[in-house]
A and B are shown apart, each in its own frame.
Chain A
């Protein structure tokens, strides 16, 4: 066992002026169109997400194409910018399929041969937000965990099999399916809705990120990548998704802390603001420290992904192992320190708790990431 190799260059853990400008635009849009009360009202409707909001966010501000190079129809930005969008989406707990479509599906397509028209075309469509795409794997799949495909493809590209708990699958028009083909595992593109594709909506713990089981029964798929290329494309998509999920978790934690501070400053009991009681202020100060630390971890992961650093797998494992529990704790503290109102449906705190808890399982629970870290950091098991 040897010690891990440190990163070659120091990461940039701050936000650039451009990133702050992007944040301002996204935050203004979400404050206007997707404040928590609106999100709550929308959940009672039948729609999985707000099409107009997605259109404004993905196409209007152009966030869907941040990870896509300009010559392929995107904005030519990087994981650093996408991370800022996810912070804001976490802070507003908006039901927008950004992580699944604009981050994970886009990264999977970027890992295929983008010189091919049947890759570049869908990529451009995802990049401008016209089309929603998802990588058809269970939301819990960790980087390195795609394993043997649950779907089989015959020589004609007919796909059969079942994939459980795929996030945003019901609304997706493009399914990227990890399937066992005649020559080994490959990535197939499936248009949905299409014959032989059935989605069964699942009642999710996190109401703001719809889940569906996907049943394929002879659905037509076309091969986008095979062999190592396919494996690497899926692996990179999961790694990028996990790394940027840390920024969403940061946003959740940040909202929870800010709301808790605001509430306890205004709420009076025993003749003074409850936020002046040391028992409460120490808990909030401890949470502040965790949120500040989560920000450093999330920025480090985003920067490593953006720069293509060989340190990215370690940075992502650290960020997920740290940020996932911080978001959950922040949401749990938010509910507790709000007192009675915190456990009602009308107060939005429960939306953040449900998102935080589901995010803890998404793309690998912290234990999975610590196990990955044991290898990456040269700290082998007994």
Chain B
């Protein structure tokens, strides 16, 4: 069994063989100091060596970036590398690959697929995106209509359809894709899961401009795209089962980070209150105090969830609450943060009075990631509207909490035993 001491030793060996050095910082007057700069080759060399040493995700098997160690011990490695100033793999940019594609490939992929995809995915050499949602199938994902048809007598599948809300599609080399392969069976049973090459002919990515004016997401049009059968993940018709692994891991990623007091949007609002006494009113004061309490409690609730999931903190407390895999409680946290972000950003626009009437920039931009506290109040207000929709609408998440946490009876379903082709659309 690989323990923390063993991982520290292996991390020290990696650092000795590949001592991190960084380029000198950019000269002054060129804007605020950003993250340290690394020469691209050196950074990649380090990340590849880290993957090969099994220190990328220690709970993965040996040879695939891990050592088969307990998942929680990753924190030990991360802390040592951070202290040493080692370059990271930019998880914000490759989050879909790390959080969703990788665990799915690990669980359902063939040996060839694991060997081919995991290393460049982790180092960030290849960016991934997720071709799940469709214009006609959002919350009801299993209703999707993108078709994949097996070529007669051949090894390829031919895919036609349209996907939407695809983050990173304009940067991605690969995509995880679910498509309908059998319309004659009920919707959950007729889907198959594929890996799609985003550079193939027939893949067209168009920016999807949002309420904020920018385009974080894309629409992806698939026209006669050929996917070799070797890029199928899991059995034909088992796509829903494979997708469940992806989606469970998506929810794991939410709420995992520690936030300081007044972290996030409430800090921006509180700072505005302190700096603009001339704008204060009693009504706004009462509402701000309410929001401050709610934000502090949401922070503590997330911290409590994190403590429950963190054996490094709790291993000494034998007999405490069960720990390890996060359950649907993460859905609850997402609900709270969505409501707070919307209310706080709305408060802030109102507080700013005349300044609240202005907007910083409507230019169509294509950011690599989302900055929920950056830009100005109007942007935050508009962007926060997505918080209760993306990654599961608040209404769907309330159903998940009700049924899986509280054990309430499920809604009656009229679509479960009907062939997909016979469903009303």
Contact = CB atoms under 8 A, between A and B. Distances in A.
Interface of A: 1-4, 6-7, 10-17, 20, 257, 261, 264-265, 272-273, 275-276, 278, 281-282, 284-286, 288-289, 292-297, 299-300, 318, 321-322, 370, 373-374, 377-379, 381-382
Contacts of A288: 332, 401-402, 405-406
Most B CB within 10 A of own CB, among A4, A281, A284: A281
Given A261-B406, A322-B297, A370-B289, A289 B318 contact: no
28 contacts: A1-B274, A1-B277, A3-B271, A3-B274, A6-B260, A11-B300, A11-B303, A14-B307, A281-B399, A282-B398, A282-B399, A284-B402, A285-B332, A285-B406, A286-B398, A289-B336, A293-B297, A293-B298, A295-B301, A296-B297, A297-B296, A318-B296, A370-B286, A379-B270, A379-B274, A381-B280, A381-B282, A382-B282
B262 A4 contact: yes
Contacts of A273: 408-409
Contact of A278 (B285, B405, B411): B411
Nearest to B289: A370
Interface in B391-425: 395, 398-399, 401-403, 405-412
Interface string B327-351: 0010010011000000000000000
Nearest to B267: A3
A379 B292 contact: yes
B304 interface: yes
B262 A265 contact: no
Contacts of B303: 10-11, 13, 296
Interface in B254-284: 260-262, 267, 270-271, 273-274, 277, 280-282
B160 interface: no
Nearest to B400: A285
A382 B267 CA distance: 18
Given A4-B262, A296-B301, A300-B300, A276 B408 contact: yes
A112 to B, nearest CB: 33
Contacts of A381: 280, 282, 285
A14 B321 contact: yes
A284 B282 contact: no
Most A CB within 10 A of own CB, among B271, B277, B292, B329: B292
Given A15-B320, A16-B317, A373-B292, A285 B297 contact: no
A373 B293 contact: yes
B318 A17 contact: yes
CB-CB nearest 9 A-B residue pairs = A281-B402, A17-B319, A382-B280, A276-B409, A285-B401, A296-B300, A13-B304, A296-B301, A1-B274
Contacts of A297: 296-297, 300-301
Nearest to A19: B320
A296 B285 contact: no
A299 B300 CA distance: 9
A285 B336 CA distance: 12
B294 interface: yes
Contacts of A318: 293, 296-297
Given A16-B317, A17-B320, A293-B336, A3 B262 contact: yes
Contacts of B267: 3
Contact of A14 (B314, B332, B403): B314
B402 A282 contact: yes
B290 A370 contact: yes
B245 interface: no
Given A11-B300, A379-B270, 10 more contacts: A12-B307, A16-B317, A16-B320, A17-B319, A261-B407, A278-B395, A281-B408, A293-B336, A322-B293, A381-B285
A293 B337 CA distance: 12
Contacts of A10: 303
Contact of B285 (A1, A11, A379): A379
B118 interface: no
Contact of A272 (B270, B280, B412): B412
A284 B285 contact: no
Contacts of A13: 300, 303-304, 307
B288 interface: yes
A292 B304 CA distance: 9
B2 to A, nearest CB: 26
Nearest to A373: B289
A268 B301 CA distance: 34
B308 interface: yes
B398 A285 contact: yes
Nearest to A370: B289
Nearest to A367: B286
Given A281-B399, A370-B290, A2 B280 contact: no
A264 B408 CA distance: 8
Contacts of B406: 257, 261, 281, 284-285, 288
Contacts of A3: 262, 267, 270-271, 274
Given A285-B401, A293-B298, A297-B300, A275 B408 contact: yes
A322 B336 CA distance: 14
A276 B281 contact: no
Given A276-B408, A289-B335, A374-B285, A15 B321 contact: yes
Nearest to A17: B319
Contact of A322 (B277, B294, B335): B294
Given A289-B335, A297-B297, A322-B293, A382 B285 contact: yes
A278 B261 CA distance: 35
B56 to A, nearest CB: 28
Nearest to A301: B300
Contact of B288 (A264, A281, A282, A379): A379
Most A CB within 10 A of own CB, among B289, B292, B405: B289
Given A276-B408, A276-B409, A6 B261 contact: yes
Contacts of B319: 17, 20
